[in-house]
Amino acid sequence: MPRILVCYKWVLDEQDIKIVSLGLSLDVSRAKYKISDYDKNAIEEAVRIVEKNGGSVEAISFGTSLKQSFKDVLSRGVDKVYAIDSSIAENADAYVTANVLAAAIRKIGPYDLILCADGSSDVYNQQIGSRLSALLGLPGITSVSQINCEGDRISATRKLGDCTEVVHIKGQAVISVLPEINSVRIPTMKQVLAAAKKPSEEIKIDALGLSDAELLPKVTKVSVKGFVMNRKNIVFKDANQKDNVSKLVASLAKEGLLKERG
């Protein structure tokens, strides 16, 4: 019966981020936090494995304002959540994040299976799973679209662009899953209510025994500039679609985009 840990990131919802036209800076003042999109698939996969094989699912995150995330995470079938809430997360790069998560996992582990998603929706580094496997000395498998667990053996199917590959692992592993591995179920009312009673535990970053150097990012941002789109934005929205269509066709003809007649 596997003991599973899912790593999830609590990120700003990019749909709420606005680009300030002056200076192209990002306005995040109206942005809410969410569970990084693909991490929901990682949680879902852990829960499905446990539904089939028994075992337990725990989740861990390194970030800020993590308390707000507990209800959502726990209502998705996770039994317990760990939080490393620290302002250090604000400027952390993959090096620091992996150091912190690996140290915390050494403390609360071992786990039979550690799941990450393919990439986080804010930085999409696609690194944490691989880094964790290296730091923890465990097999690390990425781009996984299917997992089968049997006893202490795991088979993972990877999607690698030009081929698929099946990897058999004996013992513990860190696996990064693709979003197409499953479709995420919406928590039921019962699950949402039960979430309030589930345990959460805060892990203090100071208690992890990491040196200052291990918490100092190797990658630092010099600037972040919003991408601006300068488009004509001519939108036809008459009730009469025939009119709209002829206006559009006329515009496309002017742009020289209609098929040549031969």
Partner 1 sequence: MPGILIYSDNITLTKQLITAGLLLKEKMNQPVYVILTGEQDLTGIANTAADEVFVLKGSNPWPESYADAIANFASTEQISAGLFGGTPRGKDIAAKVAAKLGAGLVTEAQSVEFDDGCLLTTRLLYGGLAVATEEVKLPALATIAPKTFEEAGSSDKQTEVITIEAANELNQITIGETCPVVREGVELSAANRIVSVGRGVGKKEDLSMIGELAQAFDAEIGCTRGIAEDYHWLPVERYIGISGQKVKPDMYFGVGVSGQVQHLAGMRESKVIVAIDMNENAPIFEAADYGIVGDLYEVVPLLIEALKS
Ligand X SMILES: Nc1ncnc2c1ncn2[C@@H]1O[C@H](COP(=O)(O)O)[C@@H](O)[C@H]1O
Ligand Y SMILES: Cc1cc2nc3c(=O)[nH]c(=O)nc-3n(C[C@H](O)[C@H](O)[C@H](O)COP(=O)(O)OP(=O)(O)OC[C@H]3O[C@@H](n4cnc5c(N)ncnc54)[C@H](O)[C@@H]3O)c2cc1C
- Residue 74 interacting partner from ligand X, ligand Y, partner 1, none (CB closer than 5 to 8 Å by kind): none
Token pair belonging to 91: 């400027």
| Cβ proximity to ligand Y, 28 vs 253, nearer residue | 28
Q: CA-to-CA distance for 4 and 55, rounded, in angstroms?
A: 8
Q: Quick one: what does residue 44 bind among ligand Y, partner 1, ligand X, none, with the CB cut-off 5 to 8 Å set by partner type?
A: none
DSSP assignment of 12-69: E-GGG-EE-TTTT-EE-TTPPEEE-HHHHHHHHHHHHHHHHH--EEEEEEEESSGGGG
Burial of 171 (0-12, 13-18, 19+ CB in 10 A): exposed
Among 18, 124, 166, 171, binds ligand Y (CB under 6 A): 124
Using CB under 6 A as the binding rule, the residues of this chain from 4 to 43 that contact ligand Y are 37
Closest residue to ligand Y, based on beta-carbon distance? 37
Nearest CB to ligand Y, comparing residues 121 and 155: 121
Cα–Cα distance, 82 to 7 (Å, whole number): 10
Could you tell me which residues come within 8 angstroms of residue 162 by beta carbon, excluding any fewer than 6 positions away? Answer: none
- Is 143 a binder of ligand X (CB under 6 A)? no
62 binds, among ligand Y, partner 1, ligand X, none (CB under 5 to 8 A by kind): ligand X
Q: Please state the closest distance from residue 95 (CB atom) to ligand Y, in A.
A: 21
Cα separation, 58 vs 79, whole angstroms: 6
Q: Is the dihedral of CA 192, 193, 199, 201 positive or negative?
A: positive
Cβ-based nearer residue to partner 1, 18 or 67: 18
Q: Which stretch binds ligand Y (CB under 6 A): 75-83, 96-104, 117-125, 211-219?
A: 117-125
Residue 190 touches which member of ligand X, partner 1, ligand Y, none, C-beta under 5-8 Å by kind: none
CA distance 117 to 7: 8
21 binds, among ligand X, ligand Y, partner 1, none (CB under 5 to 8 A by kind): none
Q: Which of 88, 113, 117, 195 binds ligand X (CB under 6 A)?
A: 117
Closest C-alpha to 70, from 212, 199, 229, 217: 199
Site of interaction with ligand Y (CB under 6 A): 37, 119, 121, 124
